[in-house]
Amino acid sequence: MGESIGLIGIGLVGAALAENLLAAGFDVVGFARSAASRDALTRRGGHVTPSAAAVGEAAERVILSLPDTAAVEAVVLGPCGLLAGASRVRLILDTTTGDPEHSAALATRLAQRGIHLLDAPLSGSSQQIRERKGVFLIGGDRGAYEGCRDLIRVLAERHFHLGGPGAGSRAKLASNLILGLNRVALAEGLVFAERLGLDLAAFLALLRDTPAYSRAVDVKGQRMLQGDFTPQSKISQHHKDLRIILEYADRVGQDLPLTRVHQEILARGMAAGDGDLDTSAVIRQLRRLTRGG
């Protein structure tokens, strides 16, 4: 077995990362709060530890895949966190979509302890990440990035170093803004075409050959048509991203009218019980709107 790589957070994205690491010959030493996630890692051939601190004692390089920045800070610095024991950690690759300023502040704190933190969110669904088609958006020390390229290449074919600490997180917010609007525009257009009596399969096919095309057509279009909303990325998670995006827009003095509408659509979808469904399920809420719901 090769080098031990720590992994904390074995949800949709974390599980995909674990599969790629194991396939490349790394020994994955992981921790997650969910028993189902821990069992899934064991079935794939990884090793589960009883705490984040135990991960830190087992691996010099650790990947985080967590819900938000607050979870990252708790996992890294908490009383049972990554650095609480006899930690060996020298580099943390944080794939969480989080708050850029908090990520940068945490990187500064860890640098004082000789630990590099790369904020490295991935653009793409868990299925795209499983296929190594996600894109790393990376901020942090350039030398640490170069020293981690062997690990990064195992996880994604494409990766971009965008600047110092927090740069990857800032790029992910801007990227997610566009990605989400492409997805909700596709859903709204499909519902409109449906109401006009068009054959949706034929309409989706023609979109690929028109200027209306976006990658959302390929990634989410068929799922919208089939009603397959098994989560690869959740509505609730993207709603959290939009909250952070709008907070930063307020800080820089920019109004984001389309994003505010998008946030409201997702909020209403979550209120209707769709929060844990795939983001393609936004089409359900847009159909409700056509009925005046």
Asked if residue 290 has pLDDT above 90, the reply is: no
Q: Are residues 22 and 160 in the same domain?
A: yes
Structure confidence by residue, pLDDT tens digits, 158-207: 999 999 999 999 999 999 999 999 999 999 999 999 999 999 999 999 99
Name residue 63's beta-bridge partners: 7, 93
230-269 tens-digit pLDDT: 999 999 999 999 999 999 999 999 999 999 999 999 999 9
Contact 62, 89 (CB under 8 A): yes
Are residue 20 and residue 155 in the same domain, yes or no? yes
Q: Which domain holds residue 213?
A: 171-290
Mean pLDDT across 281-285: 98
Number of domains in the chain: 2
The pLDDT of residue 2 is: 84
Domain of 41, CATH number, reads: 3.40.50.720
Do 55 and 47 touch, CB atoms closer than 8 A? no
220 and 253 part of one domain = yes
Show which of 164, 195, 221 is a domain's final residue: 164
Q: Which residue has 């899934």 as its token pair?
A: 40
Domain boundary among 164, 198, 233: 164
Q: Which two tokens stand for residue 164?
A: 């110092």
Task: Flag whether pLDDT at 271 surpasses 60.
Answer: yes
Residues 10 and 147 in one domain: yes
Q: What per-residue confidence (pLDDT) applies to 85?
A: 87
* Residue-wise pLDDT tens digits, 49-107: 999 999 999 999 999 999 999 999 999 999 999 999 899 999 999 999 999 999 999 99
In terms of domains, do 18 and 67 share one? yes
CATH code at position 254: 1.10.1040.10
Q: What letter does residue 276 receive in the DSSP assignment? A: T
Which pTM value belongs to this model? Answer: 0.92
For range 35-48, the mean pLDDT: 93
- Whether 194 and 247 map to the same domain: the answer is yes
Is the domain of 15 the same as that of 159? yes
Give residue 293's pLDDT.
45
**Tokens 């976006």, located at residue:** 214
Instruction: Based on the fold, state whether residues 243 and 111 are members of the same structural domain.
Output: no
Q: Identify the domain boundary among 145, 164, 183.
A: 164
Q: Which amino acid is at 13?
A: V
Regarding whether 107 and 20 lie in a shared domain, the answer is yes
